[in-house]
Amino acid sequence: MTIPMIGAGVDRVDGRQKTTGAAKYAAEHNLPNQTYGVLVMSSIPAGTIRAIDASTALKSPGVIAVISHLNAPKLGSATGTSLAEQNLVPLQDGTIHYLGQRIAVVVADTLEQATRGAELVRVTYDKAPARTDMNEHRSEAKDRAQNNQKSEFSKGDADAALASAPVKIDQTYRTPYEHHNPIEAHGIVAQWDGDHLTLYDSSQNIFAVQKTLAQLFAVPKENVHVISQFVGGAFGSKGSSWPHVVIGVMAAKAVKRPVKVVVTRKQLFFANGHRPETEQRVALGATQDGKLVSIIHEGMGQGNSVCDYLEGFTRPTQVLYASPNIRGAHRVVELNVPSGTYMRAPGLTPGAFALESAMDELAYALKMDPIALRLANYADADPIDNKPWSSKSLKECYQQAADRFGWSKRNPQPRSMRDGRLLIGYGMSSSTYPAHRSPASARAVMNHDGTVTVSSGSHEMGMGTATVMAQVAAATLGIPVERVRFVYGDTTLPNAPISAGSMTAASVGSAVFGACDALKKKLASMEGSEARFDAKPDENDPYASHAFGAQFAEVSVDPDLGLVRVRRIVSAFAAGRVLNAKTATSQYRGGIIQGLGMALLEQTHFDKRLGSFTNVNLGEYLLPVNADVHTIDVIMVEEDDPHVNPIGVKGIGEIGIVGVGPAIANAVFHATGKRVRDLPITIEKVM
């Protein structure tokens, strides 16, 4: 059975809760006899703690405890857990790996008292030489594979083919440190009752948090109850268990009272993840008619010794274009810099900037239209393993977006188009994101009043999960969506995977569909009013499954001041079945706006002398505001994929950002003749 086309723009079922303040986020929970924990951070990037003097802090009014490696309990192994830094279990020794590392927590009766207590903790160090410059240590870059991502891949002999190619480009592209900055700060409220833990956590991966804490604190998993009903943005930063979670739980156990820990805006820049900086080389070789004979994509990104994350920027190169010779490699340079982590479309976002900028440069070298170049190298099957696509509608994306944008009116000569004194530029890029899916479970119950309750331990981070799951259930059962209630965000519910990788709709949606289909059959045969279903992907899937898209941007550039303004963006995406046109459009636009920020504004400045991020607030870390965002036209290309999963969806949370940066950079080149290869595109680089 397949569910009928849904697609209707249903309003968010949690909209009233969020707009009236009834929705409670993790740190908004207050428990009887609650205390507050404030974190103390290291002020050096490398070395060891010589001494911690907590005597003055402990005499400060309201302070209950100061916990550091000197008095913290010994915790279990982090191997196999979701701890972001598996080689750095919090407060277990005095080694400093980066500036901003969590080294103590002060617990007090009020937040103000805990904050003052943290200010009074005195720490002295034995400093060690710090590694802070990726370029300086480039010769020490090393391979690192993660989550089945290969650090190297190859097909044919890309280097030999490049050497003999009649037309080639070979350039280096750079992307900076970037931070997620969700509006809801990371926070927890933890309470122990004997060896039972209740944790309110701002998390996009509650079952992994449950397993992690059970292992670290040596209690049965069923003794750990994690609740995450609403998450106010994450973008990947809340997918792992960061130090504040473990430290807050540790503090609650030590003081035998509930503890609330909320990470400040400044603190989250140092120990809650970021997108690492990258340096990427892309070399393309082609025949005179534009056929790619060689693709090389290699480079390095920042890492450290306590976290295994790598920014896999070669991922789009494995998917987008056909060539007999392809080689990719990424290396990690371990520095005394805070740990990186997943940030919206990890790897693909910076990788697409490099690859798609290079494709534009090749198009100019060939005097060929950028769309025509991409069509000449259209991959009809997976370029690396030659698997057939479960579906692919990228050609339709190119055509529909180009027509809507008016690409045919583009004069290809740089600096040839104007609006008064302003230079006008058109640019485009391809976009892609894999159609991930993980095992998930759901339960569906028909209530006495004819309503249906569907439950799964998934997450609502603003993308509309609760709404589309109610729609899937309603469509499967043939009842109005108003008769369905979706319950989520609790580890007592059926197991669900991390809400990341654009896979929630595919994973949890398939489980909801299966549970509701089973419930309908039970009701029809009078065998019961409850059903549970476990949905699992095929481990030997014969198809390659990706969403695809095309991004088009128009910019204006002031030739005297170098000011770049994005006038409009037209984007077309093909991502299987659309479950809710309204929330889908919001997801696409959110990704596009984040891509606009990446192109022109976002950059976390890093002082290599101190080993410290410096613009650690929303006044200096620049993000797009309303005045920066003009027309965004989203086209959802119809696509039927009978192979990808039972409900035919591919996931859309991340593809919207992929390709926006290079589309804007390519438009800036068209407007000015100036190629910017390191983001963000600032006035100085344009001038």
SS3 513: helix
| Other C-beta atoms lying within 10 Å of the C-beta of residue 253 | 18
Buried b (16+ CB within 10 A) or exposed e, 189-219: bbbbeeeebbbbbbbbbbbbbbbbbbbbbeb
Burial class of residue 415, CB neighbours in 10 A (0-12, 13-18, 19+): middle
Would you say 286 and 293 are in contact if contact means Cβ atoms under 8 Å apart?
A: yes
> What is the helix (H) or strand (E) element at residue 376, kind and residue range?
helix 370-376
**E strand segments, 79-203:** 95-96, 102-108, 122-127, 152-155, 167-175, 187-193, 196-201
In the annotation, is 654 catalytic?
yes
Would you say 570 and 635 are in contact if contact means Cβ atoms under 8 Å apart?
A: yes
> What is the helix (H) or strand (E) element at residue 590, kind and residue range?
helix 581-600
Q: How far apart are CA 61 and CA 63, in angstroms?
A: 6
Which residues neighbour 55 within 8 Å (Cβ) at sequence distance 6 or greater?
none
Q: Can you tell me which residue has the tokens 């004194």?
A: 421
Measured torsion, CA atoms of residues 189, 194, 195, 197, in degrees rounded to the nearest 10: -20
Beta strand 484-487 pairing with 452-455 = parallel
Distances in Å between the Cα of 644 and the Cα atoms of 3, 244, 587, 620 are 14, 38, 20, 43
Q: Write down the catalytic residue from 112, 277, 654, 684.
A: 654
Q: How far apart are CA 140 and CA 128, in angstroms?
A: 19
Q: Which two tokens stand for residue 341?
A: 């982590």
> How many CA atoms, within 13 angstroms, populate the side-chain half-sphere of residue 213?
35
| Other C-beta atoms lying within 10 Å of the C-beta of residue 683 | 12
Would you say 118 and 38 are in contact if contact means Cβ atoms under 8 Å apart?
A: yes
SS3 240: coil
Question: Catalytic residue numbers?
Answer: 654
